[in-house]
Amino acid sequence: MSSKMKALVFEQFGGPEVLAYKEIPAPELKPGTVLVRMKAAGLNYADIYRRRGNYHLAGNPPYILGYEGAGIVEAAAADAAELKPGDRIAFCDVPHANAELVQVPLEKAIPLPEDIPFETAAAILLQGMTAHYLTRDSYKVQAGDEVLVHAAAGGVGQLLVQLAKRQGVRVLGLVSSEAKRDAARAAGADEVLLYSSSWVEAVKHWSISGNGVTVAYDSVGSTLMDSFAAVRTKGTVVFYGMAGGDPAFVDPRMLMDTSKTLTGGDLWNHVTSRDDRLRRANELFSWLRDGSLRLETPGAFSLSEGAEAHRMLESRLSTGKIILIP
């Protein structure tokens, strides 16, 4: 097996220009792991935060980004023999995915059915599992609900819209531009409003009761108090991201006076075992199969064009997912 491989690496924190595509030592096969020859890796905002130095990174440079992807098992450790060379697998929480070879713990390897392309798996797992726990665990969406989805044209946003619609509910999306409005509509939102509008009043007006929606999924952060204003008495706000900046502090007396609920969401508090990981992944795969979940064709860049892919994601002009192809 080659002891060298190509990877997208960086030595110091900064803008996309710090990324370089170069040859480095390949990972070793360790107990409990398989070596995977990568076919596609998903690009996520966390990769940008890590490149900028906002997130803690373990070890020493050169650093390799990427946590999500899919490929073919090249070698399996003796204690990971339920997987064998040639098996298709995917993962969404294994570091150093922006490389030709990745060491994947058996615990985190998700067998990939033949009918799910590598590119699809790399594009759906992290964001799909996020939308899955948000609509199943954080707040269980059910018939009769009215759901507000922030950033509804984004990767998670489009999936949230679809998973909510699967439950037979009304969904209202919020987006930042006319182009993104079309993407949110295509995902199935019943109505889409622009952030530049007086959307809190419009949300209330759109709700059947006139008092607001049942639940708001807020990944923007700075909009948190507006989300509270847009949900009805006894409504719920699920806070799971801060793409637009830090949220205001919440006064518990407001929660008491309005009987509203604030809950936080982080994927890794929910996906805590291999069984749970496989269950959620296989539900997503089955919905892709039956057409009740559709994925916008991801934007693909070769791994050597990683800096360009980062620029595209940072520009916030993209809708849907960006993937890197080794």
Looking at the structure, tell me whether residues 174 and 222 fall in a common domain.
yes
Question: How distant, in Å, are the alpha carbons of 35, 52, 173 from that of 182?
Answer: 41, 31, 11
Range of the domain at 277: 4-125+272-325
Asked whether 96 and 10 are in contact (CB, 8 A), the reply is no
Residue 91 lies in a domain: yes
Within 10 A of 182 (CB to CB), how many other CB atoms are there? 14
Q: 217, 150 in Cβ contact below 8 A?
A: yes
Asked if residue 103 and residue 155 are part of one domain, the reply reads: no
End-to-end CA distance of the chain: 18
pTM of the model: 0.93
Say yes or no: 233 and 286 in one domain: no
Token pair 């006076």 is found at 257
Instruction: Out of 214, 231, 264, pick the residue that ends a domain.
Output: 264
**Per-residue pLDDT tens digits for 299-312:** 999 999 999 999 99
Which residue among 221, 244, 264 closes a domain?
264
- 277 and 259, same structural domain? no
- Asked if residue 133 belongs to a domain, the reply is no
- The answer on 170 and 75 residing in a single domain is no
| pLDDT < 70: residue spans in the chain | 1-2
Q: How far lies 58's CA from each of 19, 24, 53, 62, in Å?
A: 18, 18, 12, 11
Structure confidence at residue 16 (pLDDT): 97
Domains in the chain, number: 2
| Residues composing the chain | 326
Task: For 16, list phi and psi in degrees, rounded to 5.
Answer: -55, -25
CATH code where residue 253 lies: 3.40.50.720
What distance in Å separates the CA atoms of residue 51 and residue 57, rounded to the nearest whole number? Answer: 9
Taking the C-alpha atoms of residue 65 and residue 95, their distance in angstroms, rounded to an integer, is 7
